[in-house]
Amino acid sequence: MESLNNQSDFVLTPQAAFESQAEVAMNWRLSTFEERASRLKNIRTWIKANQTQIRAALANDFGKPAAETDLSEVYPVISEINHCLKNLEKWMAPTSVSTPLTMLGTKGKLYFEPKGRSLIIAPWNYPFNLAIEPLISALAAGCTAIIKPSELTPHTAALLQKMISELFAPNEVAVIQGEIEVSQELLKLPFDHIFFTGSPSVGKIVMRAAAEHLTSVTLELGGKSPVIIDQNADLHDAAEKILWGKFVNCGQTCIAPDYILAHESVLAELMMELKLGLQKMYDTEYKGIEESADLARIVNKKHFDRLMDYLADAEHRGASIAFGGNSNAATHYIEPTILTNVDDSMKIMQEEIFGPLLPIRTFQKLDEAIDHINSKPKPLALYYFGNEKTRQQLVIAETSSGNAVINDCVLHYSHPNLPFGGVNNSGIGKAHGHFGFLEFSNQKGVLKQRIGMTTISMLRPPYGFRTKQLISSLIKWF
């Protein structure tokens, strides 16, 4: 099938879009660096030319400030493209591996072939970034893709449809919009790879569907990412970093600090720094945080109600609101809120918050904080604030998380040479840069043997005395 000129010429049902990409996926197996780079450059050019439209879509979907859109939606995508363009030719090249003595005469290489037709299911919280970044990895690896954007952010979904239709034919890359039924239809298809970003509960559904076709998956999930603030932390520095990581996108970030475990000796000073920091970031003119142009809103009524239920439940069970607590249902506004006296009986300590509510618990010994984290499902990220290297290493060694950051929050997402992803309940597989390229690639091992006599020739039947001695030597010495 030849490339179609316009997506409007093609009925984008899940089945039809999937079938249309079969031939292109085969052809793209032989795509060159220049061809793949051209696709990435076209995306970069479109984004830069349409940045105003991207800002408008995010503002319409949940009141995202333009600067925050540039920082968290546009910049990461542009940065990812630039990193790929700089390194892709090297990533694509076959890589030689060393030859052991038992394989003398052979040569081994790794070839990186595209997996083929891929499905990208994007979430609503960063609806542009988390749809396009996986696409960059797919295109870098030489895969075709179908993108299913979130129906909860319709303006961004429409923008993605427009963007992809202007850059690709549907038998190369397609956007298919719709409700949950569309996702279910897509998941019935035998894709070569699925990249899903969302909650652990839906991730399990995706994985079950993928298992029907033994399709490989990358699951970027979530969980309750903890922050440990140790007794020797720089509290002013920690507070500012935590506040930005927590309240950017109004807390609707998978790697946002979910709750704080603070050493009991620093709680009073920490609370003061957090309150001053919130005032500095969102209410410099003392008009109230609701008037701030720099705070996004909750995406819809369902999530607004969910968060207000968490807050009410926590108060009912004895939590104290140390700061915030105000809301406006009409605009889905929830004030950045800090809670103390929380415990595990509360919903806010059981479920991923995904909003501007920040609970704080205290500990006396670092082991208590570590034990608390280890009693929960493994988080997507873990943050530690403290200046003693031995205690830093203790936390890293004795806890498990997708990523960990010392003396900062969220920043690891933007590091081009670090893998991004979870572990177990918080995710499977890694993304970004070379790691994203590998997710969409089959790492095919190729061995080339010489013709004629080889080291293996001496180990073939009949298994006489000499052959048995050689086999025994192999076991003993190698």
Q: How far apart are CA 148 and CA 157, in angstroms?
A: 9
80, 172, 220, 439: the active-site residue: 220
For residue 39, the tally of other CB atoms under 10 A from its CB is: 20
For β-strands 216-220 and 226-229, DSSP reports them as unpaired
| Beta-carbon contacts of residue 57 (< 8 Å; ≥ 6 apart) | 128, 153, 155, 156, 158, 159
Burial class of residue 9, CB neighbours in 10 A (0-12, 13-18, 19+):
exposed
Contact in structure between 290 and 383 (CB atoms under 8 Å): no
What is the three-state SS of 306-333? HHHHHHHHHHHCCCEEEECCCEECCCCE
220 is catalytic: yes
Phi, psi of 21 (to 5 degrees): -90, 0
Widest pairwise Cα distance in the chain: 92
For β-strands 95-97 and 107-114, DSSP reports them as antiparallel
299: tokens are: 């995406």
Residues annotated as part of the active site: 220
